[in-house]
């Protein structure tokens, strides 16, 4: 008799329909958004954590399941049964385990880019980096360091999915057959959708403000050099709230976890030394190295941030956007080319400036209450085909900017049809086909991994197997 349900994976017949049950849950499990938003909450929610399942050398904690379940409720969505959520987490770990077996790796720069994007979205949700730091009691740098492992796992899983189903293709005939299979009285009603592009130029922090912040940090450095305690100065003056209360202590960080400017300055120091003033995307730092340990280093810092509301000069941004707008209007320059070469919103620049729906990834936005209010009211006064004058914009990481908007197109509300909604229908057909490929992969891969589940979940039908009393 064992302490866990031992599932002999080889030979299990997986009776699951990913496209109906697993896929939506799997997407939720893979979305780092759940981990990011509930990260601080999870530390307060479950007082005693424990392992509830294992897939090879990967473990699933009770807190992971609870956070995932609570996230659905927090968003007002009907939460799937916990057995379904557990199954999705196990599938996630299966993909990770098989990635190790098959030597599927992701590059550090991919992880860093994804982490920066997710942190930027958090800034948008919380209003500012300062609010995030106050909510979690940790510096932005420490949060990024702790969440990096989760981001890396997410990227590995995504790469495994692409490896499994990336070669799946669909034909127009398959899309047509799918559309014709839908009863005419069941065709969905499609609301108005719009295509909107933007070109973003960031404001510049004024030289006066930069000089002011540098001078303040130089004065603090001089005070520390004369004998004042660096940690005390950090507690009083640093605007990195999370680390300030600990005397600016950032704890040990692995190489690559901090922004390059910070890390480069910190690693150039000897223990006990202080840096010159360092500028990064977070502000201005005065760094003191405490010690190094292999590939890790331990530092304190004092951070002063620019005031992006009062200390940002928009003159250059407005001038550049006005120039681009004029060139586009006289048809000397195409909008997509202007966005690709000039927009400082790199995510949309690569798609010609078109703003995509976060849920579908398609560059068409539903014209309803779900749209960003600033965008909704901006295009409400525009006609299709028009370019706006430069308007104020706040980036996802909280920086002040300007942008011009291009109202490319608008569709009328209608019943779904092949001509107007081919892209949507094709996405559904492709998704179904990829899910079928994933299902076949799971059937073949089940013998390559070992899965065990705690007895309290013995009634869950994980991967098609209902555990019996004899398994306990």
What order do you get walking across the sheet with 193-202 strand by strand? 365-366, 193-202, 400-410, 391-394
Q: Which two tokens stand for residue 311?
A: 């200390």
Same domain for 374 and 326 = yes
- Residue 11 host element (H or E): none
Q: Give the CA count within 13 Å in the CB-facing half-sphere of 290.
A: 16
Residues 394, 401: contact at Cβ < 8 Å?
yes
Same domain for 166 and 236 = no
Domain annotation covers residue 215: yes
Same domain for 460 and 393 = no
Domain end position, chosen among 304, 337, 370: 304
Same domain for 167 and 79 = yes
Q: Which two tokens stand for residue 415?
A: 């019943």
Please tell me the distance from the alpha carbon of residue 194 to that of residue 423, in angstroms, as a whole number: 14
- Residue 285 host element (H or E): strand 283-293
Same domain for 213 and 111 = no
Domain annotation covers residue 98: yes
pTM exceeds 0.85, yes or no:
no
Same domain for 161 and 25 = yes
Domain annotation covers residue 239: yes
Q: Which two tokens stand for residue 22?
A: 């697993």
Same domain for 122 and 28 = yes
33 CB burial (10 A radius; 0-12, 13-18, 19+): middle
- Quote the pLDDT of residue 439: 81
Domain that holds residue 227: 207-304
- Residue 304 host element (H or E): strand 296-304
Length of the chain: 472
Domain annotation covers residue 269: yes
230 CB burial (10 A radius; 0-12, 13-18, 19+): buried
Number of domain units in the chain: 3
Same domain for 145 and 14 = yes
- Quote the pLDDT of residue 36: 47
Please tell me the distance from the alpha carbon of residue 373 to that of residue 15, in angstroms, as a whole number: 44
**Which residue, chain included where needed, has tokens 């999370």?**
242
| 411-430 burial code (b ≥16 CB/10 A, e <16) | eeeeeeeeeebeebbbbebb
| DSSP-assigned letters across all residues of 137-206 | TS-HHHHHHHHHHHHHHHHHHHHHHHHHHTT----HHHHHHHHHHS-GGGPPEE--EEEEEEEEEE-EE-
Please tell me the distance from the alpha carbon of residue 264 to that of residue 436, in angstroms, as a whole number: 47
Same domain for 348 and 269 = no
Domain annotation covers residue 179: no
Domain end position, chosen among 304, 335, 358: 304
Q: Which two tokens stand for residue 344?
A: 């400082």
Residue 300's DSSP bridge partners are 249, 288
Residue pLDDT tens, the chain, 472 long: 333 333 333 323 333 334 433 443 344 334 444 444 444 444 444 445 788 888 888 888 888 888 888 877 766 667 788 888 888 888 888 889 888 888 888 888 788 777 877 776 676 566 567 777 777 777 777 888 878 888 888 888 888 888 888 788 999 999 999 999 999 988 988 889 999 999 999 888 888 889 999 999 999 999 999 999 999 999 999 988 778 888 999 888 888 778 889 999 999 999 999 999 999 877 899 999 999 988 889 999 999 988 766 667 899 999 999 999 999 999 999 999 999 999 999 889 999 999 998 777 788 898 887 788 888 888 989 999 999 999 999 887 667 889 999 999 999 999 999 988 898 899 889 988 988 888 888 877 777 888 888 888 877 876 654 443 334 3
> What CATH number is attached to the domain comprising 253?
3.10.50.40
Please tell me the distance from the alpha carbon of residue 336 to that of residue 338, in angstroms, as a whole number: 5
- Quote the pLDDT of residue 461: 72
Please tell me the distance from the alpha carbon of residue 213 to that of residue 211, in angstroms, as a whole number: 6
Torsion of CA 14, 449, 157, 88, to 10 degrees: 40
Torsion of CA 27, 30, 31, 37, to 10 degrees: 130
CA distances from 299 to 15, 33, 246, 315, 375 (A): 52, 29, 12, 37, 42
Domain annotation covers residue 395: yes
CA distances from 168 to 164, 420, 444 (A): 9, 24, 17
| Nearest in space to 393 (alpha carbons), one of 468, 308, 305, 268 | 308
Same domain for 431 and 406 = no
Same domain for 331 and 295 = no
Domain end position, chosen among 281, 304, 327: 304
| DSSP-assigned letters across all residues of 365-428 | EESSTTS-HHHHHHHHT--TT-BPPPEEEE-TTS-EEEEEEEEEEEPPPEE--HHHHHHHHHHH
Q: Which residues, 6+ apart, have CB-to-CB distance to 348 below 8 Å?
A: 197, 198, 200, 339, 354, 355, 356
| Nearest in space to 327 (alpha carbons), one of 315, 344, 342 | 342
Domain annotation covers residue 183: no
Please tell me the distance from the alpha carbon of residue 434 to that of residue 264, in angstroms, as a whole number: 43
Domain annotation covers residue 443: yes
Torsion of CA 140, 145, 149, 155, to 10 degrees: 60
> What CATH number is attached to the domain comprising 134?
1.10.4030.10
Same domain for 128 and 17 = yes
């Amino acid at each position: 008799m064992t302490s866990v349900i031992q599932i002999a994976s080889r030979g299990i017949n997986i009776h699951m329909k990913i496209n109906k049950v697993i896929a939506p849950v799997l997407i939720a499990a893979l979305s780092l958004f759940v981990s990011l938003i509930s990260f601080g909450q999870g530390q307060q929610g479950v007082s005693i954590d424990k392992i509830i399942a294992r897939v090879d050398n990967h473990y699933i904690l009770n807190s992971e399941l609870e956070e995932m379940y609570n996230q659905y409720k927090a968003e007002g969505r009907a939460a799937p049964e916990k057995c379904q959520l557990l199954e999705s987490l196990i599938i996630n770990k299966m993909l990770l385990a098989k990635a190790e077996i098959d030597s599927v790796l992701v590059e550090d720069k991919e992880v860093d880019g994804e982490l920066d994007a997710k942190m930027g979205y958090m800034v948008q949700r919380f209003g500012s980096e300062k609010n995030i730091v106050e909510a979690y009691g940790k510096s932005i740098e420490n949060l990024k360091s702790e969440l990096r492992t989760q981001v890396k796992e997410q990227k590995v899983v995504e790469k495994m999915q692409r490896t499994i189903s990336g070669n799946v293709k669909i034909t127009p005939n398959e899309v047509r057959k799918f559309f014709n299979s839908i009863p005419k009285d069941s065709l969905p009603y499609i609301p108005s959708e719009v295509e909107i592009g933007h070109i973003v130029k960031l404001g510049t922090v004024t030289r006066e403000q930069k000089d002011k912040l540098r001078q303040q940090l130089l004065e603090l450095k001089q005070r520390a050099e004369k004998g004042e305690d660096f940690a005390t100065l950090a507690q009083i003056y640093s605007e990195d709230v999370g680390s300030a209360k600990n005397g600016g202590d950032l704890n040990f960080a692995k190489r690559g976890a901090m922004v390059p400017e910070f890390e480069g300055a910190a690693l150039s120091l000897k223990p006990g030394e202080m840096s010159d003033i360092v500028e990064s995307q977070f502000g201005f730092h005065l760094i003191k190295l405490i010690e190094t340990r292999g590939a890790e280093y331990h530092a304190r810092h004092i951070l002063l941030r620019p005031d992006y509301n009062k200390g940002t000069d928009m003159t250059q941004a407005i001038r550049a956007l006005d120039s681009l707008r004029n060139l586009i209007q006289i048809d000397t320059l195409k909008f997509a080319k202007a966005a690709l070469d000039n927009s400082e919103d790199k995510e949309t620049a690569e798609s010609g400036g078109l703003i995509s729906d976060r849920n579908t990834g398609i560059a068409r936005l539903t014209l309803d209450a779900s749209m960003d209010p600033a965008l909704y009211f901006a295009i409400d006064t525009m006609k299709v085909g028009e370019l706006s004058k430069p308007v104020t914009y706040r980036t996802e990481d909280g920086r002040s900017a300007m942008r011009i908007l291009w109202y490319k197109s608008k569709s009328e509300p209608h019943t779904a049809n092949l001509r107007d909604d081919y892209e949507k229908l094709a996405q559904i057909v492709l998704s179904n086909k990829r899910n079928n490929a994933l299902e076949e992969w799971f059937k073949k891969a089940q013998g390559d991994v070992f899965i065990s589940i705690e007895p309290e979940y013995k009634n869950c039908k994980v991967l098609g197997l209902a555990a019996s009393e004899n398994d306990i």
